[in-house]
Amino acid sequence: MIVVFGGAGFVGSHVAEYYSTRGEKVRVIDNNSRAHLLKSDEPDLSNWDYVRGLQNVEAINASILDADDLADLVHGSDAIVHAAAQTAVTVSVDDPREDFLVNAVGTFNVLEAVRKAAPEAPMVFCSTNKVYGANVNLLPVQRVGERYAFEDEWTSGVPETLSIDLCEHSPYGASKTTADLYMQEYGWLYGLHTTIFRMSCIYGPRQLGIADQGWIAWFGRAILNGLPITIYGDGFQTRDILYVSDLVAAMDRALERGGSGEVYNIGGGPNFTSSLVESIAELENLTGKRAQLSYADWRPSDQRIYVSDIRKAANALQWEPIVAPQEGIKALADWLSVESSG
């Protein structure tokens, strides 16, 4: 049995789908709190109905903050993916307490449940590139056309050895760093089979993006529906982007390999990158509609560029991303078009 915390979310729903189609029994654990956590007026920002309709999936409405319930939920599991989280930097600034409870305390609760009830089960944790905080902004950067690029020895991207200390993170970055470190510690101290994915920008169908989270999906939704888009900074901010099926493939390899506190930077890497304005232009071409753009000041903890150095993951997991940005953004745009028309 595969247990997926946050299984009604974007990433979690794809994990559940992947193992369901392989004939595995899947237990999805989610409490449909995404709209609440993101302070969104939209009533439903989950894929709950979708995952409940999958074969071999048991969907349970439960919260990672209910510590007493979690041991029973993970008992008997063969593998665990922990994708439950508060995911927006802006929300963490406005409500740091709830951000900390979900990301730090919730992850601690999951670890304790696994330690007690499923200590042999391999587990992948969805961490974030935000653990590196403002240290990324100390790396040498140049402007190249409509994007930023790393210079000198950093052209392969940010490695796992970049310091996560002595810099601004945002409350979200701090809470995820706490969870990241606990995942490592429970691997080293208690021998749990934990693997930490410090993820860059993941995108694809069923990403219910809003202005504060899921930027490629949000841009597509806004363009299709004539909604205004605010660009914070100059729009040349560049990220490596990873199509969700490539992420799930990496997770599967990590669960097969196991680990004890192993850390990987996971993203599209230097070959699969896009800037904000480049992604908007691509979505405009695909939809035949124009974005309604305005610009505002940079936000705290914004990174001009983040690109993952994925060489460690490529070597250890025998994995590499295969869905190029043009192909992936088209697949997302096609899904958004159907979603908007429905």
Q: Residue 33 maps to which CATH number?
A: 3.40.50.720
Output the pLDDT for position 210.
77
Q: For the chain, how many residues are written?
A: 342
CA distance 289 to 226: 8
Q: Is the pLDDT of residue 40 over 70?
A: no
Output the pLDDT for position 342.
57
* CB contact burial 291-317 (16+ within 10 A = b; e otherwise): bebeeeeeeebebbbbbbbbbbbeeeb
pLDDT (mean) for 131-141? 95
Q: Is the pLDDT of residue 186 over 60?
A: yes
Overall domain count for the chain: 1
Find the helix or strand (DSSP H, E) in which 181 lies: helix 170-190
pLDDT (mean) for 216-234? 95
Output the pLDDT for position 339.
78
User: For 240-284, how does the pLDDT look when each residue is reduced to its tens digit (9 = 90+)?
Assistant: 999 999 999 999 999 999 999 999 999 999 999 999 999 999 999
Q: Is the pLDDT of residue 36 over 80?
A: no
- Active-site residue identified among 18, 148, 172, 182: 172
Q: Is the pLDDT of residue 43 over 60?
A: no
Q: Is the pLDDT of residue 141 over 60?
A: yes
* E strand residue ranges, 10-140: 26-30, 57-61, 79-82, 123-128
Quick one: pLDDT band at residue 302, thresholds 50, 70, 90?
confident
pLDDT (mean) for 137-141? 96
Burial label, 318 (beta-carbon count in 10 A; 0-12, 13-18, 19+)? exposed
What single string gives the DSSP state of each residue in 103-161?
IIIHHHHHHHHHHHH-TTS-EEEEEEGGGGGGGGGGS-EEEETTEEEE-GGGTT-B-TT
Higher per-residue pLDDT: 210 or 258: 258
Quick one: pLDDT band at residue 32, thresholds 50, 70, 90?
confident
Output the pLDDT for position 316.
98
Mean pLDDT of the chain: 94
User: 151: left (phi > 0), else alpha (psi -120 to 50), else beta?
Assistant: beta
Quick one: pLDDT band at residue 37, thresholds 50, 70, 90?
low
CA distance 312 to 178: 22
Q: Is the pLDDT of residue 35 over 60?
A: no
* Predicted model pTM: 0.95
Find the helix or strand (DSSP H, E) in which 341 lies: helix 325-341
Percent of the chain scoring above 70 in pLDDT? 96
Q: Is 203 a catalytic residue?
A: no
Output the pLDDT for position 19.
98
Q: Is the pLDDT of residue 99 over 60?
A: yes
Query: Domain range spanning residue 144?
Result: 2-341
Quick one: pLDDT band at residue 33, thresholds 50, 70, 90?
confident
Output the pLDDT for position 44.
61
Q: Is the pLDDT of residue 77 over 60?
A: yes
Bridge partners, residue 292, by sequence:
228
Helix (H, G, I), strand (E, B) or coil at 30: strand
